[in-house]
Amino acid sequence: MSEQRRRDLLRFGATGVGALVAATMAEACAASAATGGTSSGTSTGWAQRYQVFNVHDYGAAGDGRHDDTAAIQQAIYAQQASGGVVWVPAGTYRVDGILLAAPQSGVASHTCILVGEGMNATTLQAVNPQYQYNGMIGYQADRVIAAVVLRDLTLDGNYVGAGGTVPQRTSGGHGALVSLPQPFTGASSFAPPAGRYHVFERVRFYRPAGYGFQPPSSSVLLQCVFEACGQPGAKVHYDNIGGGGDQDCLVTGCSWLDGAGNFVDFVAGQPGKPSRLRFVHNTSFNHQTGGIYAAGIGSIICGNAIGNVGSTTSGIGYDSGTAQSNRGRNLVFGNSLTGGLNLFHSGLSAKYGDRVFGNVGASDALVPSAPSAAPVSGTVYRNEAPYAVTLCLGAYAHGARSAHANAGGPTVLADVGVGSTLQTVATQWVPAQSTATAPQSVVLQVPGGWSYRFTARGCQFGSLTTVPLDAG
């Protein structure tokens, strides 16, 4: 490392890597443009210390017609040998899988920095759904990938259902727009992240035929856009961000537009490999359906303005496949939720040490909290957390006891659902031998954030008790 570069790193500090990359890109690419868009710029500033590898120098056309896979790959291989920035000028580049790694196996060279002119100017567009490296940006099993930095470009899956030409598979697995192992590891590694992260800044994930980003291990997504992801109306929906195993992911300042599928879904099925998500200050517009199933150990979901316009209910919490030992101490607060996106819908519980507070949403505002004593017949109540609700019946109404065995006898109608839209889940008959010392009861399994209602006919209500319920 040169003395000048060492001073630059010290000046920017450990938390200023993004700023260092930005300055590198801006000045180096400007120098490249000043010399005709080649990698041999000699002007002062960053271009004197960092090479710029313009993909056009390696034969890329960027005209939306030619296959530019090989040209872009050669530019990346050249960058991996000496460091620097791969510069992708404005245009549409047709690709069939790009490997962000050194050409030889088992070696991780330099951080791979791939920079465009803006998400509305530079586009990498998929040629077909069978990507070479499991993703349009992906890995090869025998390669070790260093840290990856992508900035200011669009990754276009070119899905036919959103006006493209690439079909969606109706069965089996499918690649993603981005599929990467953790930095400086092989494809199958789930080693601790150790403070090393891939960085995606102002990247547009557009109309994938499969997943958007999977797995996002040790990745930071800043001001990215997920547009037409999850294939609205398609037979098979895919997670926009998802994966399994050890995750450590920050998603902040991102937007979801005109899509479907889960915003994020991490499955931490193996003990000791928890999912960890920071999902902060994100927004959605016209998103059909999908949840945030990424609670693990210490995930934080806060300050988001998100929701679903579709009728299917989705939740915030744990994926059902997350191991019990990988659940605990998640924070969900300060979110504005709309439509069918509902708190507590997927296993968040005080038994795991989860904290949920200060959220605003349609499903929270429709009904009052559960009563501390006997409920009022016909009134809708909301369960704040996953509980088993037990209603003990009181005295019969006058004259109803003798008619218990027919349709006119004492009954309790139990309904449960989201918001004020409830469906009947049980009809409980009150038997004749019920006494004050041996009361009959009605038990409901009510997810947190859901609503319930007991309606009496020919009997009175006694006490109401709730017991914590693991709804994961």
Q: Which of 231, 232, 126 is nearest to 179 (CA)?
A: 126
Residue 129: phi and psi, rounded to 5, are -80, -10
pLDDT digits (tens, 9 = 90+) for 145-186: 888 999 999 999 998 888 888 877 655 556 788 888 778 776
The pLDDT value recorded for residue 409 is: 57
Residue in 244, 202, 250, 248 with CA at minimum distance from that of residue 226: 202
Average pLDDT of 360-386?
Answer: 59
The average confidence (pLDDT) of the chain is: 74
Q: In Å, how far are 130, 187, 219 from 143, measured between CA atoms?
A: 19, 7, 19
Query: Residue 171's pLDDT is what?
Result: 56
> What is the reported pLDDT for 88?
97
Is pLDDT above 90 for 227? yes
Check: CB of residue 10 under 8 Å from CB of residue 20.
no
Most confident region among 88-92, 128-132, 436-440 by mean pLDDT: 88-92
Higher pLDDT: 125 or 248? It is 125
Report the relative pairing of strands 451-457 and 380-382 from DSSP bridges.
antiparallel
pLDDT band at 288 (very low <50, low <70, confident <90, very high): confident
Buried b (16+ CB within 10 A) or exposed e, 441-454: ebebebbbbbbbbb
In CATH, what is the architecture of 367-468?
Sandwich (2.60)
Cα–Cα distance measured from residue 369 to residue 148, given in angstroms and rounded to the nearest whole number: 48
Q: What residues does each domain of the chain span?
A: 3-364, 367-468
Determine the pLDDT at residue 152: 97
Contact 240, 261 (CB under 8 A): yes
pLDDT at 124: 96
How many Å apart are CA 254 and CA 180, to the nearest integer?
A: 20
Per-residue pLDDT tens for 9-30? 333 333 344 444 444 444 444 4
Phi first, then psi: give them for residue 453, nearest 5 degrees: -150, 135
Q: What is the pLDDT of residues 293-342, one digit of tens each?
A: 888 888 999 999 998 887 777 778 888 788 888 888 889 888 888 887 77
37, pLDDT greater than 50: no
Position 245 scores a pLDDT of 64
Report the C-alpha gap between 268 and 245 in whole angstroms.
5
282 compared with 388, residue with greater pLDDT: 282
More confident residue, 153 or 243: 153
Considering the domain 3-364 in this protein, what is its CATH number?
2.160.20
Separation between Cα atoms, residue 318 and residue 275, nearest integer Å: 9
Quote the tokens at residue 372. 């501390």
Task: Give the tokens for residue 379.
Answer: 């009134």
pLDDT given at position 169: 65
**DSSP type of residue 448:** T
Yes or no: say if 342 and 361 are a contact pair by the CB < 8 Å rule.
yes
What pLDDT band is residue 94 in, cutting at 50, 70 and 90? very high
Closest by CA position to 237, among listed 211, 268, 214, 216 = 211
Q: Could you tell me the CA-to-CA distances from 75 to 84, 86, 128, 256, 465 in Å, in that order?
A: 11, 7, 22, 31, 67
In this structure, are residues 251 and 222 in contact, taking their beta carbons and an 8 Å threshold? no
DSSP 8-state symbol, 169:
P
pLDDT for 414 beyond 80: no
Give percent of the chain with pLDDT exceeding 90: 23
